[in-house]
Chain A
Amino acid sequence: MDVFTLGFWIIGGILFIIAILKGKGGAKESMKKSRGMMKNMLGDIIGIICLIGLLLTFIPPQTIKTVLGSENVFFSSLVAALIGSVTLIPAFVAFPLVGSFVDAGASIVPGVAFLTTLTMVGVVTFPLEKKEFGLKFALTRNVLSFSAAIVIAILMGVIL
């Protein structure tokens, strides 16, 4: 567990204890409500996680490497953004991967597109997002995030 997750645990734990002490009777009901909400999502979350494992097997970092290193920047940016949308790889893998390309002199545009859609657009988490927030919300948010990632990538290319 990294420091930040640990910090999150500590803060969450303290707030939880305060809430229980302060909430008295309400705490039980609130816990029941939260538990119900989590239970509702748990099946989907586990499904999503297993799906991520599958996707990573079929789209390994080597594939991403080939895309990021491609000569055609326009094409590789688009594909990089799409791959970023469907995969969820940890930041400590993604940053060094993109870093090694930038160091080698490749364009940063595909790398930025990839990094941004990686976290902001979630094709895999889409079913859960749709279930919890509605189709319109999930669709609009993901489409806008994808466009935003492209805009960020292009601007980064212009600025840096």
Chain B
Amino acid sequence: MVDLVKKNKLPMSVFIVYIILFIVNGDLGKEALSNTSYYLIEMFQILPVIFMLTVAIDILIPKEWIIKRLGSRSGIVGGVLALAFGSLSAGPIYAAFPIAKMLHKKGASVSNVVIILSAWAVIKVPMLANEMKFLGSEFMLTRWLLTVVLIMAIGWIMKQAKIPISGEEDQVKKRLYVKEDYCIGCSACQKSMPQVFEMRQGKAYVIHENIEIDMTLLQKNVAKCPTKAIIMND
């Protein structure tokens, strides 16, 4: 029970606010609930698709393809692809989180993840149509152009600033990893344990840390690494 509350701090606190609101002012509470229903419907319309898409991306798109097209060396082409991908989606920004995470796990760079998230939020096709209707095509096109340029710039800045992506569960799970700055790409670990290590752009990465690992062999690899770049925590 305590764990459940701890894990769901945000929904729990919102729930409490609702209760207080209903006690203090029932009408306002009802209004808030009816405002909420629109977004709840939207959520149920979009989340199943997100689930299907993450599965499809996981199975259908090979890692190598994502690293090549959306990885840190994909350059401007990767940026454009990320932009197109985000623009052609549907649903609110939180729907983009699982997709972006999945793509990042498969090798998409931080800047491209930012571009996908921003494009997903701001420059969607149905929204552009709506904007043109109410504000005119000149307004829409100018804002679209400026937004695209600035989204690309944000991606670039975050890449230059070396902002990492590390979710809460990643930090807990990271018992085994390779220090990217130390790795010289000798690939000894990958040759010895291909089920654990993988070479990506000349650097070793841990692909599976939760599988049954031959611990003695792993320790040997950690010791054998010429720059001691493999880190193992218990």
Interface assignment of B112: CB less than 8 Å from any CB of chain A: no
A151 contacts B56, CB within 8 Å? no
Contact of B151 (CB < 8 Å), options: A19, A34, A35, A148 = A148
Interface assignment of B1: CB less than 8 Å from any CB of chain A: no
Interface size class, chain A: 35 or more
Name the A residues within 8 Å of B56 (CB-CB): 12, 15-16, 18-19
Name the A residues within 8 Å of B46 (CB-CB): 5, 8
**A153 shortest CB reach to chain B, Å:** 9
Name the A residues within 8 Å of B58 (CB-CB): 19, 30, 33-34
Interface assignment of B213: CB less than 8 Å from any CB of chain A: no
A148 contacts B143, CB within 8 Å? no
Interface assignment of B194: CB less than 8 Å from any CB of chain A: no
Interface assignment of A125: CB less than 8 Å from any CB of chain B: yes
Name the A residues within 8 Å of B49 (CB-CB): 5, 8-9, 12-13
Chain B residue nearest to A31 (CB atoms) is B55
Given A47-B11, A50-B14, answer yes or no on A144-B158 (Cβ-Cβ < 8 Å).
yes
**A99 shortest CB reach to chain B, Å:** 3
A34 contacts B51, CB within 8 Å? yes
In the complex, per-residue mask of A63-81: 1 if CB is within 8 Å of any chain B CB, else 0? 0000000000000000000
Name the A residues within 8 Å of B114 (CB-CB): 141
Name the B residues within 8 Å of A122 (CB-CB): 93-94, 121
Interface assignment of B131: CB less than 8 Å from any CB of chain A: yes
Chain B residue nearest to A144 (CB atoms) is B154
In the complex, per-residue mask of A39-80: 1 if CB is within 8 Å of any chain B CB, else 0? 011111111111111101100000000000000000000000
Which B residues fall within an 8 A CB radius of A?
7-15, 17-18, 21, 28, 31-40, 43, 45-56, 58-60, 89-94, 97-98, 100-102, 110, 113-114, 117-118, 121-122, 124-127, 130-131, 133-135, 138-139, 142-143, 146-147, 150-151, 153-154, 157-158, 161, 163-169
